Amino acid sequence: MASVTGAIVFTDLVGFTEFTATSGDEEAVRLLGLQDHIVTTLLPDDARIVKELGDGLMIFFAEPCSAVTTMLDVLDAFAAAADRDEMPLWVRVGGHWGCPTVRGADLVGHDANVAARVADVAAPGELLVSEALVGADAHGGVAFDEVGPVMMKGLPEPVSLFRAERDPLAPVRNDAAGLVTCGE
């Protein structure tokens, strides 16, 4: 069995089932297309969408800082789309650093399960990450607010979680695309 080390991230459109029931399939498909456009536009070279999960995505990043800063960019892009009345739903995001097992193009196993559960706990518009992801690397321009240990469905031990946000006190260093870069 092969495994790969990296950040596993899950997204979820909050309220998608109710939205689909009230707005119809055509509008739901439009929102999924907008989600795909936002995420694929912002994904760096070290990342890939592993699979679509109805109204959510499973994404893999080789670099921990890239995972956190990219997903903050995704949340910002969703908020901007909401301001333009293009996106009536919020997205929640959860991430974990680990060594998921590779099964074809998919990633499975305990670490993938932990990442999915972290996303389940996140509030709308929030990025929650595990302590393992926080500790995997320096995260330039990001502040982490400790949520604490959280018991999650199917996991025998609590997972220490942190809310990731842009650090208003950190100097902003931009790459050529205008995004915050990792390091320090």
Q: What is the pLDDT of residues 90-108, one digit of tens each?
A: 999 999 999 999 999 999 9
Q: Is residue 173's pLDDT more than 70?
A: no
Between 119 and 86, whose confidence is greater?
119
**The CATH number of 6-166 is which of 1.20.120.1630, 3.10.20.600, 3.40.50.2000, 3.30.70.1230?**
3.30.70.1230
- The burial of 62, by beta-carbon neighbours within 10 Å (0-12 exposed, 13-18 middle, 19 or more buried), is given as middle
Q: How far is the C-alpha of 144 from the C-alpha of 163, rounded, in Å? A: 5
- Two structure tokens written together for 38: 């936002």
Closest CA to 88 of 176, 23, 39: 23
* Domain range summary for the chain, segments of one domain joined by +: 6-166
Instruction: Please state, rounded to an integer, the average pLDDT across all residues of the chain.
Output: 90
The predicted model gives 127-139 an average pLDDT of 89
The predicted model gives 74-81 an average pLDDT of 94
Q: How confident is the model at residue 42 (pLDDT cuts 50, 70, 90)?
A: very high
Q: Beta strand pairing status for 47-53 and 101-103?
A: unpaired
pLDDT at 171: 54
Contact 67, 11 (CB under 8 A): no
What does 68-103 look like in DSSP terms, one character per residue? HHHHHHHHHHHHHHHHTTS--S-EEEEEEEE-PEEE
Residue 9's SS3 state is: strand
pTM for this structure?
Answer: 0.89
Between 55 and 182, whose confidence is greater?
55
The predicted model gives 38-55 an average pLDDT of 95
Q: Is residue 154's pLDDT more than 50?
A: yes
Q: Is residue 182's pLDDT more than 80?
A: no
- The burial of 150, by beta-carbon neighbours within 10 Å (0-12 exposed, 13-18 middle, 19 or more buried), is given as middle
Q: Which residue has the tokens 């996140």?
A: 122
pLDDT at 140: 76
- The burial of 162, by beta-carbon neighbours within 10 Å (0-12 exposed, 13-18 middle, 19 or more buried), is given as buried
The predicted model gives 38-56 an average pLDDT of 95
Residue 123 is classified by DSSP as P
Q: How confident is the model at residue 179 (pLDDT cuts 50, 70, 90)?
A: very low
Q: Is residue 143's pLDDT more than 60?
A: yes
pLDDT at 170: 65
Contact 133, 64 (CB under 8 A): yes
Q: Is residue 172's pLDDT more than 60?
A: no
CA distances from 77 to 83, 131, 139, 171 (A): 10, 25, 20, 21
Between 179 and 138, whose confidence is greater?
138
User: What percentage of the chain carries pLDDT values higher than 90?
Assistant: 79
